Structure 1
Amino acid sequence: MDLHFGDGKPTDEERAAVDALLGPPESSWEGADRSDADLRWARGGREARERRDLLLPGLHALNDRVGWISEGALGYLCRRLTVPPAQAYGVATFYAMFSVKPRPATVLHVCTDLACAAAGAPELCAGAEARLGPGSGVGVRRSPCLGLCERAPAALAVRAGDPVRTA
Structure 2
Amino acid sequence: MDLHFGDSKPTDEERAAVDALLGPPESAWEGADDRSDADLRWARGGRAARERRDQLLPGLHALNDRVGWVSEGGLDYLCRRLTVPPAEGYGVATFYSMFSVRPRPATVVRVCTDLACGGGVELCGAVEARLGPASGVAVEQSPCLGLCERAPAALVVRAGPPAVLSPTPP
Aligned residue-pair number: 162
Unpaired segments of 5 or more residues in structure 2? 164-170
Structure 1 gaps, min length 5: none
The structural deviation recorded for 1:162 is 1.5
Partner of 2:131: 132
- Please tell me whether residue 51 in structure 1 is matched to residue 41 in structure 2: no
1:97 and 2:111 aligned:
no
Q: Which residue of 2 aligns with 1:24?
A: 24
Offset from partner CA, 1:52-92 (integer Å, 9 cap, x none):
00000000000000000110000000111100000000000
CA shift, 1:131, in A, is: 1.0
Q: Note the C-alpha offset of 1:46.
A: 2.2
Deviation for aligned residue 1:44: 3.9
Task: State the TM-score, normalized to the length of structure 1.
Answer: 0.94
Distance 2:46 2:18 in 1: 21
TM-score normalised by length of structure 2: 0.92
Q: In 2, distance between residues paired with 1:45 and 1:38?
A: 14
Deviation at 1:133, TM superposition (A): 1.9
Aligned-partner Cα distance in 2 for 1:22–1:45: 15
Partner Cα distance (2:6, 2:15) in 1: 15
With over 3 angstroms needed to count, the CA separation of the structure-2 counterparts of 1:44 and 1:23, relative to structure 1, is closer
Q: Report the more deviating stretch, 127-136 or 93-102.
A: 127-136
Percent identity over the alignment is: 84
Query: Shift of the alpha carbon at 1:48?
Result: 1.8
Deviation >3 Å, runs of 4+: none
